[in-house]
Chains A and B, each alone.
Chain A
Amino acid sequence: MSFTDILLLMFGAILVENFIFAKFYGCCPFLGVSDKPDTALGMGMAVTFVMTLSGAATWAVYHFLLEPFGLEYLKTVAFILVIAALVQFIEMFLRKFIPALYASLGIYLPLITTNCAVLSAALLAIQNEYSFIAAVSFGFASALGFTLAIVVFAGVRGKMEFSEPPRAFQGFPITLIAAGLLAMAFAGFAGIKL
């Protein structure tokens, strides 16, 4: 896989195949942690951090442990285990050595343990038979797409604070409608074939 291929892969993962708007992965944090742009950015950074590392870890586990024993069918279970352990480990590591990063990412890290976006990034990298470099860049780019979506949506929700939708739409319903409209905007990228 050449450098250009990897760049195209990353571009596709950020915009065309955006995790939230095109694939509907990670909708829970997308709706739950998008109240304010700064918390949304914190969540996005934590996801980026974990997704990139878990992309590398799961690739290694799959190719060095599961494949030699012919246990490819166990990848979902094994990856959940790897990601959960990895997130716990990262949390402890950051708390000890990089307290500043822990203070900004800390509360979001445990939320990511069971985030389906992280798991699906790992599974898709295996399914598409990516090389190690491609798998890591795919995880990183997918997470960037997630960050872009959640931060943009937090901006939209900030504007909605001051509007008064009809009573039946107040709160969560109007949030879902706004998310749908934003997804339609991202659908414009769907025509781009890389």
Chain B
Amino acid sequence: MSKHRDIDFFEQPAAAREWQAQEAALHAAREGRAPADAREAAYRRIDAAVRADDAIGLDADFAERLAARAGPVPTAAGTPDTGLEKQLTRLLLAALVIAGLVVALLEGGSWFRADPAAWSVAANPWVLALLACLGASQGAELLRRRLG
């Protein structure tokens, strides 16, 4: 497990200055300017050493051989997992609709004979809770879109 702690450059001005020196050396190297001082020269050597190790140890025909091995690229429509998910979703929706119809047929008559007060939102705390959850969910989504 990493025990890394991020540096707070605002709280550590010495670190912030050193970071600026590191970046200045990098930019000076890219622009081909001579180093301004010994510190910049050190960081430019580090940059040069990292950039020197740029050999790529893959065969010249790596891309061609890999493409031949991989074959055609699967698309969303052709991916078996996506097709299976769609079928399962359709089955689930159909089951919910059928279950709802069955319940309505069996119990529907009693709903019309029930006390009208039972239908009121104020009398039913679960309805209030559901509305509150829907409101919070929509509000969070709006906030996420505005901030994101």
Answer yes or no: are A and B bound together in one complex. no
Which residues of B are in contact with A by a Cβ distance under 8 Å? Answer: none
Which residues of A are in contact with B by a Cβ distance under 8 Å? Answer: none
